[in-house]
Structure 1
């Protein structure tokens, strides 16, 4: 696995991941009354955070894209 996620991309993914993980549990919005949304958003957030931490995105690899400079 070679890194294909750059620094700015990594920071944005990590920030968005953290927001998606904690928002359903901290905010009391009607949107989060649906269990699929309440537990689906943190799962997507974990994927974003994981790709940020490992600096590797499988979709980027599949399409030959990378935001990481060699």
Structure 2
């Protein structure tokens, strides 16, 4: 599977996933009282979001056809443009 998560999407997944997992764990150990099912779901969702941000691959994005990953091609194109603007 090709990478399809990048940019703001990746940042949101890394930060949001970590926060969801932390809040879920805090609720599971008793720091916050919101039951047991909701915290367990928060932990699972947090881990999934964080993992998709780290791996930069998301099955749901692939099914929907969403691709926010720019990849090495975009970086190579940018470098070519910069070198073309410089005088030799």
Q: Normalising by the residue count of structure 1, what TM-score does the alignment of the two structures yield?
A: 0.84
Structure 1: which 5+ runs fail to align? none
Give 3-state SS (helix, strand or coil) of 2:16's partner. helix
Alpha-carbon displacement from aligned partner over 1:2-26 (angstroms, at most 9, x marks no partner): 1100122111101000110011306
Count, aligned residues: 67
Find the counterpart in structure 2 of residue 10 from structure 1. Answer: 10
Find the counterpart in structure 2 of residue 37 from structure 1. Answer: 38
Give 3-state SS (helix, strand or coil) of 2:18's partner. helix
Q: Which runs of 4+ in 1 moved over 4 A?
A: none
| RMSD of Structure 2 on Structure 1 (CA) | 1.5
Question: How big is the shift at 1:48?
Answer: 0.1
Structure 2: which 5+ runs fail to align? 72-88
Q: Normalising by the residue count of structure 2, what TM-score does the alignment of the two structures yield?
A: 0.68
Give 3-state SS (helix, strand or coil) of 1:20's partner. helix
User: Structure 2 CA distance, aligned partners of 1:11 and 1:63?
Assistant: 20
Find the counterpart in structure 1 of residue 77 from structure 2. Answer: none
**Larger relative contact order (CA 8 Å, sep ≥ 6):** 1
